[in-house]
Amino acid sequence: MARIVVDAMGSDEHPIPDVEGGVQAAREYGIDIIFVGDEAKIRPVLEKQNIEGLNIRVVHAPEMLTMEDKGEALVLKARSKEPKDSMAIGMDLVKNGEADAFVTAGNTGAGMVTALFRLGRIRGVDRPALAPIFPTATGSCIVLDIGANPDCKPENLIQFGILGSIYAEKVRGVKNPKVGLVSNGEEEGKGNELVKGATPLFKASKLNYFGNVEGKEVIGGKVDVAVTDGFTGNVMLKTAEAVGKLIVDFVRTTIKNGNLGTKIGGLLVKPALSSLKKLMDPGEQGAAPMLGVNGLVFIGHGRSDAFAIKNAVRVAKEAVDVNVLDAMKSAIEESLKK
């Protein structure tokens, strides 16, 4: 049975959605949930839930990390021998073998720094990458990195490719996933110096390398894993989210302000519009894995509601069930033998 730590102080509205979502996950997926955070705030929310027969416990953490935690102050908290914040204490549970994965909707930067100091990196990985799932015309695509590493070297990108490929295969069930390099042109030779420097590394690897992909190929479903630096990936993510919201909002406004015929047509397209909204909803996936750290860490959006937290726990459980961490370690070790 998977044991998942939920950072009860992670979301913007903590601890209500964090606790409610964790309880829903415990009931629906039959797993152990460990809430970490201010126990005085967690208990009142937990008491309002039906937890009979569920394996749930609370580990007290008197402090929490926020967007204000950065720089040297964040590093000191992340590496403290006597941690007090919910992220550090929660990740220590994973490190010490008391839990299998850690889920938070807290500060992404704080999550990455804490993971690096508490869990360390997989041997052979220079930098971890945040890897969300993008909806595509044919299903989905893992895009990494989307913000953890704004500046990268070619060696970082090939490591991202290996990690993303293993995750796509083991967790997403994609056989021999196609891996592409995000560029400003499909032809080999296009791209900035980073892409040009990474191309020979990808061609020499054992990955199912597709070649360069533009944004339209990613969304079109041409590849299963799209590799890029964190700056480009973050722009892609936020642009995709904004465009998706714009489309849904525009259609709804047009229907609302239209004539009778438009409103009748709106009723007919309502199911399709609902499907589109679901497709674009980041809460459906709940959280993105931080690949490359020596432990399973999943980071969700600060605006996560209980539904998103529940799905974040589900994604973490799926990774635990297929032992994806060991698979990534083996793949990176194999790459080091060249």
Structure tokens at 90: 């929660």
Backbone dihedral angles phi then psi of residue 249, each to the nearest 5 degrees: -65, -40
Cβ pair 139, 221 in contact under 8 A: yes
What are the tens digits of pLDDT across the range 214-268?
A: 999 998 999 999 999 999 998 988 888 888 778 778 878 887 787 877 777 667 6
Q: Say what the pTM is.
A: 0.90
Same-domain check for residues 40 and 155: no
Distances in Å between the Cα of 144 and the Cα atoms of 34, 271, 281, 293 are 28, 32, 19, 14
Q: Tell me whether residue 10 is in a domain.
A: yes
Q: What is the CATH number of the domain that holds 194?
A: 3.40.718.10
If one counts the domains in the chain, the total is 2
b/e map of 198-218 (b: 16 or more CB within 10 Å)? Answer: bbebbeebebbbbbbbbbebb
Residue with tokens 């339209």: 216
User: 213 and 159, same structural domain?
Assistant: yes
101 and 188 share a domain?
no
In a domain, 279, yes or no: no
Which tens digits make up the pLDDT trace of 268-280? Answer: 667 766 666 666 6
Range of the domain at 71: 3-126+285-321
My answer on whether 148 and 37 are in the same domain is no
**Is residue 314 in some structural domain?**
yes
Q: Which residues pair with 296 in a beta bridge?
A: 101
Report if residue 188 sits inside a domain.
Answer: yes
Are 61 and 101 found together in one domain?
Answer: yes
Helix (H), strand (E) counts: the chain: 12, 12
Most confident by average pLDDT, 63-72, 109-118, 236-245: 109-118
Q: Are residues 71 and 144 in the same domain?
A: no
Residue 301 pLDDT exceeds 80: yes
Same domain, 120 and 149: no
For all residues of the chain together, what is the average pLDDT?
89
Same domain, 191 and 213: yes
- In a domain, residue 261? The reply is no
Q: Residues 99, 169: one domain?
A: no
Report the distance separating Cα 17 and Cα 123, nearest Å.
35
241, part of any domain: no
Q: Are residues 60 and 173 in the same domain?
A: no
Q: Does 256 reside within a domain? A: no
Question: Which residue's structure tokens are 């020596």?
Answer: 294
Q: What is the pLDDT of residue 72?
A: 79
Measured in degrees and rounded to the nearest 5, phi and psi for residue 284 equal: -65, -35
pLDDT for position 109? 87
Residue 260 lies in a domain: no
11 and 69 fall within a common domain: yes
List residues bridging with 4 in a β-sheet.
33, 101
